[in-house]
Amino acid sequence: MIVAVEKSRAAAPPSESAFETAFYEHYARIYGVLFRLVGDRAEAEDLTLETFWKLWERAPRRADNLGGWLYRVAMRLGYNALRAARRRQQYEETAGRAALTHTAPLPPEPAVEQQEERERVRAVLRRLPPRSAQLLILRQSGLAYTEIAAALGVAPTSVGSLLARAEQAFETLYRSLYPND
């Protein structure tokens, strides 16, 4: 029985090491973009693992654009989480969270204002079209135009104009939501 187990290990798929390489190469930045969307370390880690889990289960046929595929999956998961968070917030406000959810300890006072600022930025992102929000996050995370193009499935030459428009939309929306800021 033990022997049989070792044999099956030797026959493991050759792509395992390729997967590991992809993991170590991309995980930090994937985490970075996801954190920007959800703002919580544990959740960002979970979503990062979820992203790579999908790679493990359903790797794209073409391995040349692995980074782009990963970012696309991550943005999908992250953006959904961003929007799900809004519903959670709404219900928690009406129902009261106390005994029902695991509440993180309250942050210290000075950090609360910073947290509110972040929530305002996320509130704007949530209301933008998905692609615009994702574009802004990817750019802020330091991705080059070609990488952004791969992640969003657009032509690299169009990234400049998409970015300009997304920034315009962000600014307009922010001003209308928070005129006193």
Partner 1 sequence: MTHLSPDTLRAYQDGELPAATQAAAKTHLTECAACRTQLAEVDTRAAQVAAHLALLAPGPADQPRPAHQLFYQFTRKEREPMFKKLFARSLRPMWAGLAVVVALSIALCFPAVRTMASTFLGFFRVEKIRVVEFDPANLDRYSSYSGEKIEQIFSNNFTTTGGGEAQTVTNPAEAAQLAGFMPRLPTALSAEKTELSVTPASQSTFVVDRAVMQAVLDEMGRTDLRLPESIDGKNVIIAVPATVAAAYGDCATAPAYDPDEPVAEVSDCTTLAQLPSPTITTPPGLDLAELGTIMLEFLGMEQADAVRFSQTVDWSTTLVVPMPMTSYANYTEVAVDHTEGILVNNRYNAFESYTLLWVKDNRVYALMGSGTSAEALEIANSLQ
- The nearest distance, CB 104 to partner 1, in angstroms, is 12
Q: Which of 36, 43, 123 is nearest to 71 (CA)?
A: 36
- The nearest distance, CB 139 to partner 1, in angstroms, is 8
Residue placing its CB nearer to partner 1 in the complex, 121 or 127: 121
Kind plus residue range of the DSSP H or E element containing 163: helix 159-177
Q: Does 154 bind partner 1 (CB under 8 A)?
A: no
Q: Does 177 bind partner 1 (CB under 8 A)?
A: no
Q: Does 24 bind partner 1 (CB under 8 A)?
A: yes
What contacts 33, CB < 8 A, 6 or more positions away?
Answer: 71, 74, 75, 78, 137, 138, 141
Q: Does 67 bind partner 1 (CB under 8 A)?
A: no
Q: Does 48 bind partner 1 (CB under 8 A)?
A: yes
Q: Does 39 bind partner 1 (CB under 8 A)?
A: yes
The C-alpha angle 114, 117, 123, rounded to 5 degrees, equals 145
Interface residue with partner 1 among 66, 67, 72, 150 (CB under 8 A) is 72
Structural Rg of the chain based on CA atoms: 20
Q: Does 73 bind partner 1 (CB under 8 A)?
A: yes
Residue found under tokens 């428009």: 165
Q: Does 5 bind partner 1 (CB under 8 A)?
A: yes
Q: Does 117 bind partner 1 (CB under 8 A)?
A: yes
Pairwise CA distance, residues 127 & 173, whole Å:
8
Q: Does 144 bind partner 1 (CB under 8 A)?
A: yes
Q: Which of 67, 69, 79 is nearest to 25 (CA)?
A: 67
Q: Please say whether the dihedral angle defined by the alpha carbons of residues 23, 26, 28 and 32, taken in this order, is positive or negative.
A: negative
Interface residue with partner 1 among 50, 65, 128, 154 (CB under 8 A) is 50
- The nearest distance, CB 18 to partner 1, in angstroms, is 14
Interacting residues with partner 1 between 122 and 141 (CB under 8 A): 122, 124, 130, 136-137, 140
